A and B are shown apart, each in its own frame.
Chain A
């Protein structure tokens, strides 16, 4: 990845130098091995701090909404999932394509620091390097090699589009991913196998952990309303009471509001500080949409109509098909 990182820096430097863009959105490195965080760079010298490593998981596309409020041109580095997010923002009229230059980064999969921690490898860890399918953990004592898949984010393990679906310049060769759709729906199928009561109990328990921090919403590229209903005290649905009904209300509204627009980036699950598997709910909806209306991958091709935003006479009636208490 270091070779590509060089290219990232060089591309950014040139773009600022020749005035192609006014600002660059990339990542830089902080105090810790896992600490790759969003960088907003306007000066040529600043580009030297840009990086590209296995922890550049933060999706930069949603920042464009705020950034483009200024009349500037922005250069942004996007991975596969980030690029789908960008397309969805485009479709929702939240960004102006002409004001953005996209540098696509085919993504080899990001590493989940929590998995590293859980495996007991985080202690004294200085650096983590990834090459092909291997990941190397470097401590003062030496190096340890593992299969990268073991430490990849769950969302990366089932990623269907690691290569950016939209870009102006691609900074590396496309990567290959061969995830089957069966595997993709594995976690949904586990839920579907439950009885309605079990399923209900499962979600009630998950939602009861929710601390209502809004991280899932704020990170989500499909959650881009100017004013969210949960932020509107006048609407009287702020629903902050710690009771099941309020929690369900929040979560169902969230999941349904992104139905058909969720780009399956898995960011909601990643950022949830208490580990609620939010993306599972979204995937269930993706699966249902696929079964009802045919495959639709939000953000892959923004010129396609989204199934839930159009109506065809031959559309099935989901309530008839699935009326009796689920599967």
Chain B
């Protein structure tokens, strides 16, 4: 009866996945590790791609695959509780079955434009989720890329996701710097305080690198302004968009920005590509 037997017959039909592991990152973000009922990944993907998660009879929602494609045994999704689907997901236990379909969208050009370059990752809040798949991919192929700087901010220290990566795994890698910041002073936090866009300016980074950004729209907006002031060009900057999605395959007509469908032509866009698109996101 399960659909996994006839694979992707219909692009809208999910297959079954089992939650293998659950990790609570923050009060409202949980990272789920999912696998096929018989073990193994539901599908292969590229860094930046997404998966549509189904929890009938509640509905479906789109999430970035936060694990690296180099991770061979499972997919990970970091999910922020903010509505009916995500709320339901947060109530599930290890062993629960969900529906999954994908991978959707394009990816960060890890095998083209990013190769051999110095990279700057800028993330806010849950926005680290899609970038983490790229960062871990790069960490696994470290020699193919240059220096890596990661600037990551959240409202409070409690809201930082993937703590193991940002505090332990990444800073200990070669030529990799992690710069963390929180919005306001907070007891027990002796790191940087302030908003991400301001922090970027303070860091005085050189502009000979490729930038990858993901975060709340307001952060993205100010970071982009800041980067251009420092001298970054649109051609050097990649970002991802989040719009309401239903089908994930460029048909339901919901996620467009101008003539581009974010689910299919995105979610990753190079800034110069979106210049001709309307400011409706």
Contacts of A236 in B (CB 8 A): 84
The answer to whether the Cβ of B83 comes within 8 Å of any Cβ in the partner chain is: yes
Residues of B66-89 at the interface with A, using a CB-CB cut-off of 8 Å, are 83-84
The answer to whether the Cβ of A234 comes within 8 Å of any Cβ in the partner chain is: yes
Residues of A221-242 at the interface with B, using a CB-CB cut-off of 8 Å, are 233-234, 236
* In the complex, residue of chain B having the shortest beta-carbon distance to the beta carbon of A234: B84
Give the CA-CA distance A233 to B58 in the complex, in Å: 11
Contacts of B83 in A (CB 8 A): 234
Contacts of A233 in B (CB 8 A): 84
Q: How many residues in B have their beta carbons less than 8 Å from beta carbons of A? A: 2
Nearest-Cβ distance from residue B165 to partner chain A, whole angstroms = 33
Residues of B184-238 at the interface with A, using a CB-CB cut-off of 8 Å, are none
Contacts of A234 in B (CB 8 A): 83-84
Give the CA-CA distance A236 to B59 in the complex, in Å: 10
Contacts of B84 in A (CB 8 A): 233-234, 236
Nearest-Cβ distance from residue A79 to partner chain B, whole angstroms = 37
Give the CA-CA distance A16 to B84 in the complex, in Å: 49
* In the complex, residue of chain B having the shortest beta-carbon distance to the beta carbon of A235: B84
Give the CA-CA distance A234 to B87 in the complex, in Å: 12
Give the CA-CA distance A41 to B84 in the complex, in Å: 43
Give the CA-CA distance A236 to B83 in the complex, in Å: 12
* In the complex, residue of chain A having the shortest beta-carbon distance to the beta carbon of B83: A234
Give the CA-CA distance A76 to B82 in the complex, in Å: 43
Nearest-Cβ distance from residue A235 to partner chain B, whole angstroms = 10
Nearest-Cβ distance from residue B89 to partner chain A, whole angstroms = 15
Nearest-Cβ distance from residue B215 to partner chain A, whole angstroms = 25
* In the complex, residue of chain A having the shortest beta-carbon distance to the beta carbon of B244: A233
* In the complex, residue of chain A having the shortest beta-carbon distance to the beta carbon of B84: A234
Give the CA-CA distance A3 to B84 in the complex, in Å: 59
Nearest-Cβ distance from residue A245 to partner chain B, whole angstroms = 16
Give the CA-CA distance A236 to B87 in the complex, in Å: 14
Give the CA-CA distance A233 to B254 in the complex, in Å: 15
* In the complex, residue of chain B having the shortest beta-carbon distance to the beta carbon of A236: B84
Nearest-Cβ distance from residue B180 to partner chain A, whole angstroms = 34
* In the complex, residue of chain A having the shortest beta-carbon distance to the beta carbon of B59: A233
Residues of A194-226 at the interface with B, using a CB-CB cut-off of 8 Å, are none
Q: Mark B81-100, 1 if CB is under 8 A from A, else 0.
A: 00110000000000000000
Give the CA-CA distance A170 to B192 in the complex, in Å: 69
Nearest-Cβ distance from residue A47 to partner chain B, whole angstroms = 33
* In the complex, residue of chain A having the shortest beta-carbon distance to the beta carbon of B57: A236
Nearest-Cβ distance from residue A292 to partner chain B, whole angstroms = 40
Nearest-Cβ distance from residue B174 to partner chain A, whole angstroms = 47
Give the CA-CA distance A234 to B86 in the complex, in Å: 12
Give the CA-CA distance A233 to B61 in the complex, in Å: 13
Give the CA-CA distance A234 to B84 in the complex, in Å: 7
Q: Mark A176-209, 1 if CB is under 8 A from B, else 0.
A: 0000000000000000000000000000000000
* In the complex, residue of chain A having the shortest beta-carbon distance to the beta carbon of B58: A236
Give the CA-CA distance A236 to B85 in the complex, in Å: 12
Nearest-Cβ distance from residue B244 to partner chain A, whole angstroms = 10
Nearest-Cβ distance from residue A66 to partner chain B, whole angstroms = 20
Give the CA-CA distance A233 to B60 in the complex, in Å: 12
Give the CA-CA distance A304 to B199 in the complex, in Å: 62
Nearest-Cβ distance from residue A229 to partner chain B, whole angstroms = 15
Give the CA-CA distance A190 to B219 in the complex, in Å: 63
Give the CA-CA distance A236 to B84 in the complex, in Å: 10
Q: Mark A228-271, 1 if CB is under 8 A from B, else 0.
A: 00000110100000000000000000000000000000000000
Between-chain CB contacts (< 8 Å), 4 pairs: A233-B84, A234-B83, A234-B84, A236-B84
Chain B residues close to A by CB (< 8 Å) = 83-84
A-B pairs with the 4 shortest C-beta distances?
Answer: A234-B84, A234-B83, A236-B84, A233-B84
